[in-house]
Each structure stands twice: as C-alpha cells, then as structure tokens.
Structure 1
C-alpha cells in the first residue's frame, strides 16, 4: 500500500501523481507482462518530478489561431458542442496544442453567439478577419451536420505563456 501521508497537497494532487505513475509504468512495454515489486514501485515513486503539468482539457488548434491566443489577441474560440465539449465547464482549464507548442487557458462559457457578442467583440474571435470572413471560415471547418450539434463559444483567459516542446 502506498504511504499517502508523505504526499503534498490534496486529493487532486494525489490523483495527479497516480496518473503520472501510470504513465511511467506504461512507458516500459515489459511491464505489461509482469507485476511490479514494492521495491520497483518505491524507486519510481521517489523518482517523480517536483512539479507535474497542470491537469487540463486538451485541444488542437490551427497555427494561425494558436499564435493569436498565445499573444493575447484572440480571446474567444468557437467549437462545435460535441460530447467532448459538453464536459468543459466555466473555469475549466484548456491546453491548446499546435506543432509541439502549448498554451494554458481558462474557460468562460456562453450559451449562444448572441450572448457571446454581447460580451466579446467580433475581433476577439479573430482580430484579422471581419464577421463575414469568420463565418465563412467556421463553415469551412464545421460542416452542417457538425454545426447541427450546436456551438460553444469559449472565452479565453491566458493562464500560462506558451511553451515549446
């Protein structure tokens, strides 16, 4: 049994360490075929890093939009309300990834485009395009059957500067 009294922080921190441990265990294919000894687990547990990445939803994004988010110029992202987006709540963290870079953001949800544009300018979605150009781009990305699922507008608050892999 693992000694939880030496773990820093709360339950979320403990879960993060366990997720890290499982990742470490799965990096060596031989471990699929045998059990770990207490000594091996102890070695792994003492080798854990001091800090783990912040737990966040992960999304890919086109480079041109990633750069706008990373510089703080794009403060709203629009996504189809598919099953993975329904899990994202106000205040959740999203890590946008593009070509080995990532940036951590916090979510503000809007129930509709109308309400989003009551709080956010059209330029917040893409400061380099007009409203008509943005709608044309969105329709190229999301075909009608995906758009029929509904739309989520995500307000972006930059939490961490972008990092390169």
Structure 2
C-alpha cells in the first residue's frame, strides 16, 4: 500500500510540474492510475483479513455483511466526494463552459492534485497502523482448528 501511495503522489507531482508538456501530463495521469489501482486492489485484498479477524474475535462469520458494508462505503464515498468537489469548485467561482478565473483555476488544481495527494498521504499513514499481517498466521491456525471441530461435530450428527 505504501508503494502505491508513493506511486500516486509521484504521478500527481508529474502532472503539476509537467502540465506544460503534454507527454509528461499524460504520463503523470498513467502513473496516478497505477497508484490508485494499487490502493484499490489492496483494500480488496485486506477484506478477507478483516473477515477472518471478525470471525476470530466474534466466533462467527459475517463475511456477507462485511462485503456489503465495503461496497456500500465505496459507493457512498464516491457520491460524497463528487458532491464535495462540486461544492468546493463552486466556492472557488467555477463556472461551467466559461473561461475560469485565476481563483477558480486554483480550486480546480486543489481538487485534482493537492486534495487527492493529501488523502493519499493519509491513507499511507493509516496503513502503518494495520496490524493484522502480524496476526494472520495465528488467526488462520485457530480458525482452521475451529472449522475442523465444527466439521467433525457436523459429521457426527448426520
């Protein structure tokens, strides 16, 4: 995840510093795309860990609820982000289909470079506190043990 956030930030910086050069601008967009796909991919890779951790702690599986909550959260976040971007651009004086004022251009720049970069930094910092990797082996062993007990009890009742 840290690598993906670094890639995204590098892409954003390429866009900012290379905006006068179309090739650098397009390359920067490609680099940010690689970074964001790594971040999204990691969130989906973490989901099974969260499901197992929940089962490990609560002694029951709620995988469907966790998956549904993640999907709902993604959709809600995208909707809120779109609304907030619209509000932010309006505050900056953005007018669709018109020549933008210098203030509006700064707000556009902030919306598409600086705010996403800040969010990316926060994601990177947050992942430093992700501790399930260290517990993964212990959890897997315990969950497998519980499943074997459950399966043997189920076989006896049949």
Q: Which bin holds the TM-score, normalised by the shorter protein?
A: under 0.3
Q: More helix by proportion, 1 or 2?
A: 2
